[in-house]
Amino acid sequence: MENLSAEFMNVKLNDAKIHFERALDCKHTEFDDLYPYMIEHPQFFWYKRYVAWSELLTIVKLCDELSIEWKDQFTEKQSEYIGKRVMSSRVLDEWYETNDSKEHVG
């Protein structure tokens, strides 16, 4: 059961990371389908990012509570941002490190 929990949480963590990165890149997410009328409002993309960030923090909190390692799915900087919990302009601007080998979500 413990291995299943860790595997399950890692999948959920990866999903939440992809969701946040898609929101960051202004790409389509499930949120667009839930609130299609929001696209007409200027605050939409900020709110969409906030929702994705909250989801990511929730999954990380659950991983911590279950003693499941989560930092290996993120760069050191990204782990720091998550640890601080605040979605600042720095998080939005610097989530993708320029020297990082990871690509933007496709």
Tens of pLDDT along 28-76?
A: 888 888 888 877 887 888 889 999 999 999 999 999 999 999 999 999 9
Distances (CA, A) of 67 to 12, 20, 64, 70, 72: 15, 23, 5, 9, 14
pLDDT for the residue numbered 44: 85
Indicate the pTM of the whole model: 0.83
Q: Cα(36)–Cα(64) distance, rounded to whole angstroms?
A: 34
Residue with tokens 């929990």: 5
Q: Which pair of structure tokens corresponds to residue 36? A: 């299609």
